[in-house]
Amino acid sequence: MTSAGEAETLARAAAIAPNDASPCGRRQALWHLTALLIYLLALATPFHEVWREDLSVVVPMFTRAEPSSGNNSSFWIRIGEADQHFVAWQVSRNARVLLSEPGRLFDTEQCHPTPRSMAQGEPMIALGVLGMPFWLATGDPLLTYNGVLAFAILLAALAMYWLIREWTGSAPAGIAAGLLYAFFPHKLADINHYFIHDTTWTVLALLFAHRLFAHRHMARGRWRDALALAFCCAMQMAGSFYPFVSAALLALPFLAWLVARYGLRGLPPAPTVTAVVLVAAAGYGIFAPYVTVAADGVLGTRTTQDFATWAMLLPGGNRFPGWTAIALALCAFVPARGRARGADLGDPRMALLAGAALVGAVAISASSRYDAPLLYQALSALLPGFDNIRRPNEILSGLHICLCILSGLGCAMLLDRVPARHAAVVTGAFLALVFALTIRPAWLALEPPVVYRALPARPADKELHFYDALARAGNAGPVLELPRHGSLQEAKRVLLIGYHGRRSSACLNALSPVGREVRAIANRVSEPSVLARLRDMGFTTLVVHHPPHLGERAAGAFARQIREAAARPGAPLRRIHGIDSMTAYAIESPPRPGAEPRDR
């Protein structure tokens, strides 16, 4: 029998427990379909110009971000394009390797011969997992990446919809919250760093954590929810450092609320222990390479870190959440009819506010965007990694999660007050208004907050044929690409790796001692001792880039130097193939004494 205390707990838990009496069957499926169609329309609004192009050739690049972002200068545009090329390569590469050789996930083809080269930057493993079916279907880097971007944004909207619908029983509230969450302008404007903003797994982890704790009060499967929770935690760790830290900060007050509300004795032992073990194993697999790299002294403390300021959250700031989200979140604290919900620990609103405050205390500087908050300084002294990240302001993504959940609760509160005879009309008008205010489509004569252009990214056919010719000639192994010239050109060389599959010195994260050595000796590559050292590093091929990609005078002089070096008798360089923009030379072992000269 249920005790009085348990009955009280059950009654309070009903504030967010799934509404088992909600309409099922056809009506429920209709709401799911409506949510999907609304989100697809919202997704197509900024992407439609890009989707009209060949998605094996182009990737999306924003043309209009928030007015105060300062991202419109030619310098930042080039940096953004370089990052987009690089991220497209790594996401598609992770998808391919997870399917074929998961054991060498951190041993990427770029930055040869740096060990565990992926640990030099963000892992982006979570987007790689999402890219696996796209890679299986297409085998194309850019098709995979474009598919991942669209699917990740759609999944974010559906995750918030699922959470709010389950916690409130209101599908329209879930749809509105999903729009506010997935189509936040700051998140979409930074599309070339979407992995930084991918907090979908935190939203789903909140959902499954509540299910696991409240399983006694719901007809839910223990194992299913425990395994789903473990998967979501692992995926959030596998995406980027920023959302992982944000998720950890939100988890502290949320778990405290779950324990206070449901207690620990009700947790199913075997599923819970299994989930903890799986999360710990995933954490070890993801973070161990970073710890090893840091222990080797490769990563150093940054002299400058970019924190958030309160001005960023105010109207006109690039992180202002919008008046719609703020107004709906405030509605979450309006007392429901007949009782004051949340007056105690009966629902998660206080936990969400505590999590938001904790995130703000870590990410927001009260003085300057370059002065670390006191809590962040304390975490940096205790935990590894905090000194090495460049943009701690991105930890604020947790604040947006809390705001959108509260917005969903507020929507449910408002719609609950609508008389039944007017519910259909009011709900439809309400969703249309939230859609218009959030997406601001041009076909409604509104100005969209984010517009994308199609950025050509696929390497030229002649470059792909160039490496095909090398393969036909029997040339394989790591490639030394010289001369180095700017981040955008280097990023294009990294993306080219996704097509030819060979290891390369092309690198956007050359922080290791080995990478620094390669750069140091690159200008003396024609010297026999340098070539011998490069051969010891595993390089088999030298690819020299020519105009028009580089400055004609400098590149022409370098190419002439290599040609002259290769023409010397007995030189360990042999020309293999060339086109107008690239020439390939084999780096060979020195001839044995008395051997016949090679035919050039």
The confidence score (pLDDT) of residue 590 equals 65
Residue 455: φ, ψ to 5° = -100, 115
| C-beta neighbour count of 259 within 10 angstroms | 12
Are residues 354 and 104 in contact, defined by beta-carbon separation less than 8 angstroms? no
What is the per-residue pLDDT across 514-554, written as a single tens digit (0 to 9) for each? 677 777 777 787 788 888 888 988 999 999 988 654 444 54
**Mean pLDDT, all residues of the chain:** 85
What is the per-residue pLDDT across 337-388, written as a single tens digit (0 to 9) for each? 644 443 334 579 999 999 999 999 999 998 888 888 888 888 887 777 777 7
> Quick one: pLDDT band at residue 298, thresholds 50, 70, 90?
low
The confidence score (pLDDT) of residue 13 equals 41
Residue 6 scores a pLDDT above 50: no
The confidence score (pLDDT) of residue 220 equals 55
- For the segment 383-402, the average pLDDT, to the nearest whole number, is 86
> Quick one: pLDDT band at residue 580, thresholds 50, 70, 90?
confident
The pTM for the full model equals 0.89
Residue 2 scores a pLDDT above 60: no
Q: What percent of the chain has pLDDT over 70?
A: 86
What is the per-residue pLDDT across 87-102, written as a single tens digit (0 to 9) for each? 999 999 999 999 999 9
Q: In angstroms, rounded to a whole number, what is the distance separating the alpha carbons of residues 410 and 326?
A: 10
> Quick one: pLDDT band at residue 297, thresholds 50, 70, 90?
low
The confidence score (pLDDT) of residue 255 equals 95
Q: In angstroms, rounded to a whole number, what is the distance separating the alpha carbons of residues 320 and 314?
A: 5
Q: In angstroms, rounded to a whole number, what is the distance separating the alpha carbons of residues 194 and 153?
A: 9
What is the per-residue pLDDT across 404-441, written as a single tens digit (0 to 9) for each? 999 999 999 999 888 888 889 999 999 999 999 999 99
- For the segment 100-110, the average pLDDT, to the nearest whole number, is 93
Are residues 401 and 250 in contact, defined by beta-carbon separation less than 8 angstroms? yes
Q: In angstroms, rounded to a whole number, what is the distance separating the alpha carbons of residues 444 and 280?
A: 49
Residue 11 scores a pLDDT above 60: no
Q: Which residues contact 420 (CB under 8 A, 6 or more apart)?
A: none
Q: In angstroms, rounded to a whole number, what is the distance separating the alpha carbons of residues 387 and 364?
A: 16
Residue 153 scores a pLDDT above 60: yes
> Quick one: pLDDT band at residue 181, thresholds 50, 70, 90?
very high
Output the CA angle 103-152-327, nearest 5 degrees. 140
Q: What percent of the chain has pLDDT over 90?
A: 56
Distances (CA, A) of 299 to 121, 242, 293, 378, 599: 10, 17, 7, 20, 46
